């Protein structure tokens, strides 16, 4: 049995930043369910937020992040990450010339929604994620082994030590493999594919969150889903993301007759926080009115946004008309596996970084271009922890699992049914009646009681994990009786002081806990 020093599940920006910074005297294993580049990080268009402008300062970045997060954020976490942001950018600039610059050689800075200054560092116009991931892949050294198309489905626990020591995974043929590590890191992303309209990669189905939950780790803030306001919409289907940077360059949201929909809604108009813009678009769609991005004011649109232009043209959108049809769709999960800033979970030996983790950085709604930043930060800080930690505990020898005699089928409705119902009942606008319908429907299928996972196919395991995440999201949304950030309830349309800083935490086979920073922990019976 080979034990890795570091075992990473996932291949987004947080995972690859961590792997690239691990000393070469340590052996590292990366498992990814698909190809290494098939991630949300690779698809990220906008950029990385960092206060490096002449008139900018981390205190401004802090204020903008707290405002967007509706003050549900862990303020110390926000202060730490935004203060580190300029250095993280400098680290990449020194080693890889990938960011866009002006004729003087200075970094070009873009503006996105809810930012008070131009601070978005970008690459290739709107190909930041792609270029950052390519850069990180180029930094991987020979001590790092990559296994693609391995689906991790169960954490291996040393119950005597109450520690995570590895993970079970299935290959493309369904064979079971066990991988062990002194540090087990979940970097599997969020769960945006739980909704009918989604901006992300097809692989992002909440696997890591479900893995951690079933192992007994604490899961937090699952009600806070960010719906990106502008997904390309054609023939009843979303076709890709239209970056917020397009509105940062001057695009305006309009109806068919040219009416500006954000006028008078928010002081920042089209650059209002994402939950405000998404809810406004949704209100027009509910009335049967289509919404478009008017890009006529942006000079040389195709040059500034080559990736977006290619997506539009591929899907038959004539950009010369100056209008792009859009709808909001699920984009980012502010909640996830509860961790500290470095990625420690409530289980020894288990870490989570990137979108799979909930550090409190994003609060109730993520500020644009803070996600790649968080991934870079956590990857760097966790690498430093690993280098400084000499806790090389003994990992016991376990016998390899015996292949199941027969494959079982998960008794669950088709995934498309789940996606449609999540969009309808746990989507942009929520209420008690629909949330209760969804929770009761999910409980009919005993979604939190699956066990003996060895005998399920990868397809069924994916469905099981999606249903687990759907339950966690629905139950959290039902419990939070207010509106805050990405969580909007029509029956509780305002923020409530009673809910300020309260976090809903789920733990498998245990009570749901609501933790408050200033008061005693409360337990729901």
Question: What pLDDT digit, counting tens, does each position of 210-238 carry?
Answer: 999 999 999 999 999 999 899 999 988 88
Contacts of 192 (CB under 8 A, 6+ apart): 40, 198, 199, 200, 204, 329, 330, 331, 332, 333
Residue 277 CA to residue 328 CA, distance in Å, equals: 9
Cα–Cα dist 99/90, whole Å: 11
- CA–CA dist 242, 294 (Å, integer): 12
Mean confidence (pLDDT) of the chain: 93
Residue 19 has pLDDT above 70, yes or no: yes
CB atoms within 10 A of CB 518: 7
CB 30 within 8 A of CB 145: yes
In contact, 168 and 185? CB cutoff 8 Å: no
Band (pLDDT 50/70/90 cuts) for residue 519 is very low
Residue 322 has pLDDT above 70, yes or no: yes
The whole-number pLDDT of residue 200 equals 82
The sheet that has 323-333: what strands, in order across it? 237-241, 225-234, 323-333, 291-294, 252-255
- Of the candidates 247, 274, 323, 484, the residue annotated as catalytic is 274
pLDDT in the model for residue 246 = 94
Condensed to tens digits (0 to 9), the pLDDT of residues 370-417 reads 999 999 999 999 999 999 986 667 787 777 776 776 788 999 999 999
- CA contacts within 13 A on the Cβ side of 201: 22
Q: Output the pLDDT for position 437.
A: 98
Q: Residues 117, 241, 79, CA angle at the centre, nearest 5°? A: 35
Stretch (H or E) spanning 424: helix 415-425
Instruction: Retrieve residue 452's tokens.
Output: 């003996």
Q: What helix, strand, coil percent values describe the chain, rounded to 5?
A: 35, 20, 45
274 included as an active-site residue = yes
- Reduced to 3 states (helix: H, G, I; strand: E, B; else coil), residue 107 is strand
State yes or no: pLDDT of 524 exceeds 70.
no
HSE (CB half, 13 Å, CA atoms) of 235?
5
**Mean per-residue pLDDT, 113-128:** 93
Residue 72: predicted pLDDT: 96
Predicted confidence at residue 521, as pLDDT, reads: 34
The per-residue pLDDT for 392 is 61
> How many other C-beta atoms lie within 10 A of the C-beta of residue 493?
10
Confidence check: pLDDT of 425 > 50: yes
Q: What is the pLDDT of residues 83-107, one digit of tens each?
A: 999 999 999 999 988 999 999 999 9
pLDDT interval class at 330 (50, 70, 90): very high
Determine the average pLDDT of the residues in 312-331: 95
Q: Are 238 and 231 spatial neighbours (Cβ–Cβ below 8 Å)?
A: yes
pLDDT at 137 over 90: yes
Q: Which of 191, 188, 169 is nearest to 180 (CA)?
A: 169
41-55 mean pLDDT: 93
pLDDT-based confidence at residue 273 (cuts at 50, 70, 90): confident
Measured CA to CA in angstroms, residue 234 lies from 229, 270, 285 at distances of 15, 22, 14
Report DSSP state, residue 216: T
DSSP 450: -
From CA 402, how far away is CA 237, in angstroms rounded? 43
Q: Does the pLDDT value for residue 334 go beyond 90?
A: yes
Q: Which residues contact 155 (CB under 8 A, 6 or more apart)?
A: 164, 166, 167, 168, 184, 211, 212, 214, 215, 350
| Confidence check: pLDDT of 525 > 60 | no
Distance from C-alpha of 50 to C-alpha of 61, rounded to nearest angstrom:
8
pTM exceeds 0.75, yes or no:
yes
Strand order from edge to edge, sheet including 503-506: 357-358, 336-338, 219-220, 503-506, 513-515, 522-523
* Cβ count within 10 A of residue 179: 22
Q: Could you read off the pLDDT of 432-482 as tens digits, one per residue?
A: 999 999 999 999 999 888 888 999 999 999 999 999 999 999 999 999 999
* Contacting residues for 28 by C-beta, under 8 A, at least 6 apart: 4, 5, 6, 7, 8, 19, 22, 143, 144, 145
Which residues lie across from 254 on neighbouring strands? 260, 292
> Is pLDDT of 315 > 90?
yes
Residue 113 has pLDDT above 50, yes or no: yes
Q: Helix axis angle, 75-95 relative to 58-68, nearest 10°?
A: 120
The answer on pLDDT for 306 being more than 70 is: yes
Domains and CATH numbers, the chain: 228-329 (3.90.700.10), 415-492 (1.20.58.100)
CA nearest 65: which of 331, 389, 462, 368? 368
């Amino acid at each position: 049995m080979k034990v890795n020093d570091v075992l990473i599940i996932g291949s987004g920006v947080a995972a690859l930043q961590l792997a690239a910074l691990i000393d070469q005297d340590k052996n590292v294993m990366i498992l990814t369910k698909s190809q290494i580049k098939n991630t949300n990080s690779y698809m990220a268009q906008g950029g990385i937020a960092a206060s490096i402008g002449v008139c900018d300062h981390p205190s401004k970045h802090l204020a903008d992040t707290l405002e967007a997060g509706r003050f549900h954020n862990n303020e110390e976490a926000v202060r730490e990450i935004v203060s580190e942001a300029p250095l993280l950018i400098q680290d990449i600039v020194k080693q890889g010339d990938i960011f866009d610059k002006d004729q003087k050689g200075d970094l070009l800075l873009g503006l996105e929604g809810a930012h008070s200054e131009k601070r978005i560092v970008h690459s290739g116009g709107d190909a930041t994620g792609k270029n950052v991931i390519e850069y990180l892949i180029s930094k991987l050294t020979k001590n790092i082994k990559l296994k693609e198309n391995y689906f991790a489905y169960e954490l291996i626990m040393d119950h005597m030590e109450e520690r995570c020591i590895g993970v079970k995974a299935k290959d493309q043929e369904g064979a079971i493999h066990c991988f062990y590590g002194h540090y087990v890191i979940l970097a599997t992303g969020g769960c945006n594919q739980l909704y009918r309209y989604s901006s992300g990669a097809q692989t992002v189905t909440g696997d890591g969150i479900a893995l951690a939950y079933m192992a007994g780790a604490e899961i937090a803030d699952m009600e806070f889903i960010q719906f990106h306001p502008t997904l390309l919409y054609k023939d009843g289907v979303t076709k890709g993301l239209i970056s917020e940077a397009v509105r940062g360059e001057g695009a305006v949201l309009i109806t068919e007759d040219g009416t500006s929909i954000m006028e008078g809604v928010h002081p920042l108009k089209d650059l209002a926080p994402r939950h405000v813009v998404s809810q406004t678009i949704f209100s027009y769609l509910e009335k049967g009115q289509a919404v478009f991005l008017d890009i006529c004011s942006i000079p040389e649109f195709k040059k500034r946004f080559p990736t977006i232009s290619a997506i539009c043209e591929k899907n038959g959108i004539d950009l010369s008309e100056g209008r792009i049809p859009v709808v909001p769709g699920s984009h980012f999960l502010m909640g996830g596996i509860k961790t500290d800033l470095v990625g420690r979970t409530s289980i020894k030996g288990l870490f989570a970084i990137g979108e799979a983790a909930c550090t409190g950085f994003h609060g109730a709604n993520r500020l644009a271009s803070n996600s790649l930043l968080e991934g870079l930060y956590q990857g760097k800080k966790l690498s430093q922890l690993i280098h400084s930690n000499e806790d090389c505990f003994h990992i016991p020898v376990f016998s390899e699992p015996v292949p199941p005699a027969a494959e079982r089928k998960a008794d669950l409705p088709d995934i498309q049914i789940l996606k449609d119902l999540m969009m309808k009942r746990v989507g942009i606008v929520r209420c008690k009646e629909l949330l209760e319908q969804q929770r009761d429907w999910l409980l009919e299928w005993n979604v939190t009681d699956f066990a003996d996972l060895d005998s399920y196919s990868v397809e069924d395991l994916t469905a099981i994990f999606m249903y687990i995440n759907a339950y966690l999201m629905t139950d959290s949304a039902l419990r939070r009786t207010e509106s805050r950030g990405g969580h909007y309830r029509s029956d509780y349309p305002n923020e409530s002081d009673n809910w300020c800083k309260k976090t809903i935490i789920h733990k498998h086979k245990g009570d749901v806990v609501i933790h408050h920073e200033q008061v005693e922990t409360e337990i729901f019976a």
